Amino acid sequence: MKRRQRTTLAIVVAIGIAIFVAVSQGNALTLAECERTTHISHGGERNHRDLGNARVLYAEWWSQEGVYLDLVIADCAAGRALTTRTREEFISQRPPFDRTAKAIDIIETELTAAPALFSLERLATALHPIGRDIEIADLTADPCACAALYPEHRGDRQAFELSQ
């Protein structure tokens, strides 16, 4: 009889855990949800990638009366992000350029060449001849990709909320 009771208890506990996990994951974001338009029809975020070690990459884009693409590499654990413009056309007086593929190659090289030495500052130096307007800043709000992949690293930053 005790064996049957233990088996029944184990099944009830397993079902309870499965329900808890399903409810918890129901509120979880996915990278697919992070692919979104944020400014009517002419701006948004796309191409979200997990870089590992609580780091993510995504592109912010704009396409009204000009085009630009900024790559953002966020260190979710450190609460900092590097942003660099890799494509621009008719946004400023600068000649049009698109260096996105080369910038992504540099990012991937930096991540794999010396993972223990990786830092946003080192990446900024490596991107300097390619990316424009390179900036490293503290995150005040959790980016969507950090919320989706590394919610445990949010700290005291404003939580990301997916707007409908």
Instruction: List, for residues 144-153, the tens digit of each pLDDT value.
Output: 999 999 999 9
pLDDT class of 4 with cuts at 50, 70, 90: low
For residue 45, pLDDT beyond 60: yes
Structure tokens at 18: 């499965």
The strand pairing partners of 49, in sequence order, are 57
Q: Do 112 and 94 contact (CB within 8 A), yes or no? A: no
Confidence at residue 164, expressed as pLDDT on a 0 to 100 scale: 53
**DSSP run (H or E) holding 76:** none
Contact yes or no for 127/105 (Cβ under 8 A)? no
pLDDT tens, position by position, 80-110: 999 999 999 999 889 999 999 999 999 999 9
Residue of 161, 132, 159 whose CA lies nearest to 76? 159
Tell how strand 55-62 and strand 67-75 pair up.
Answer: antiparallel
